[in-house]
Amino acid sequence: MLPDACSQQRSCEALEAVRFPILTFDEWQPGRPPGCRFNPDWLMPGESLVSMLWKFACANALSGDVLMRLMCPDADPLEGVIPLRSAIDLNELRRLLRLPVNVLRTSLLGRTPGDRYHASFRYCRQCAAHGYHSVLHQLAEEHRCAVHRQRLRTRCPQCRRQSPFMINSSVIEAPFRCVWCRSHFCYGRLPVRSTTPAMRRQDRLAIQERMLLRLGSDAPGVSNG
């Protein structure tokens, strides 16, 4: 087995046992496909929608193309969408993931006068090792991880290219990896995506506090601490 295929298999096995067949083109349906699920225990405070979809796709053996068509049937799966509240139907997303609307709303970036965010995927290498990406990481005013105090990065550690911060079939199929060379964003370790909390309670609280400070009234969805 090729190293990348092996790594992807092992990272998927880190999730709690959910093995479903990959859907065929005829099985695309509005809402969630039969048998698919998202365990709320996988959530971290302030988790971005990109991070949530990586877990959902991996746990349910959904290809990036199929998941894109389920979530955004009017979008080209290869072109994708930027994860903005104005670009994604929250009701459709709720039917797919079965998560509270306030959590999903918090997982998306807003677009109001003065909002500034990075168009490239921005990450903390230690958070990536926990299988976590925050909406905070994309805000232009944020320069360091709220938990690890590491400077946030945009370039791949290997090829030095930047991955786009968007949702498309290529991004979904490269969880916590560079879309160009498929290198992992973390320190050579596979993401830990399991039902066991990956961060200490005080770290989760630090994220919640930063979310409240940065997003104010948009932050009630950060209640999964």
Is the pLDDT assigned to residue 52 strictly greater than 90? yes
Query: Is residue 199 in a domain?
Result: yes
Query: Residue 224 half-sphere exposure, CB side, CA atoms within 13 Å?
Result: 20
180 found inside a domain: yes
In angstroms, the CA 128 to CA 150 distance is 12
Task: Band the pLDDT of 220: cuts 50, 70, 90.
Answer: very low
Domain assignment present for 90: yes
Residue 1: CA count within 13 A, CB half-sphere? 8
Name the residue among 157, 175, 137 with its Cα closest to residue 53: 175
When mean pLDDT is compared across 41-45, 114-118, 150-154, 213-217, the lowest value belongs to 213-217
Q: Is 81 helix (H, G, I), strand (E, B) or coil?
A: strand
Q: Which helix (H) or strand (E) holds 170?
A: helix 169-172
Segment 143-179, tens digit of pLDDT? 999 999 999 999 999 999 999 999 999 999 988 999 9
CA distance 224 to 205: 10
Q: Of 83, 59, 67, whose CA–CA distance to 8 is shortest?
A: 59
Any domain includes 224: no
Mean pLDDT across the chain: 79
Residue 50 has pLDDT above 60, yes or no: yes
Residue 188 has pLDDT above 80, yes or no: no
The confidence score (pLDDT) of residue 3 equals 42
The single-letter code of the amino acid at 117 is: Y
Domain presence at residue 32: no
CA–CA gap between residue 194 and residue 191 (Å, rounded): 9
**At 102, is the secondary structure helix, strand, or coil?**
helix
> Is 54 among the domain residues?
yes
pTM score, whole prediction: 0.78
1 within a domain of the structure (yes/no): no
Angle at 95 between CA 30 and CA 32, to 5 degrees: 50
Distance of CA 98 to the CA centre of its chain: 16
Domain-embedded: residue 16: no
Domain count, the chain: 1
Residue 114: predicted pLDDT: 55
- Structural domain that includes position 48: 42-215
CA atoms of 154 and 113, how far apart (whole Å): 24
Q: How many CB atoms lie within 10 A of CB 23?
A: 22
Instruction: Please give the Cα distance from 24 to 27 (Å, whole number).
Output: 5
Q: What is the pLDDT of residues 190-206, one digit of tens each?
A: 554 544 456 788 888 99
Q: What is the percentage of the chain residues whose pLDDT exceeds 70?
A: 73
Q: What is the pLDDT of residue 10?
A: 42
Report which DSSP code applies to 137: G
Reply yes or no on whether the pLDDT at 36 is more than 90. no
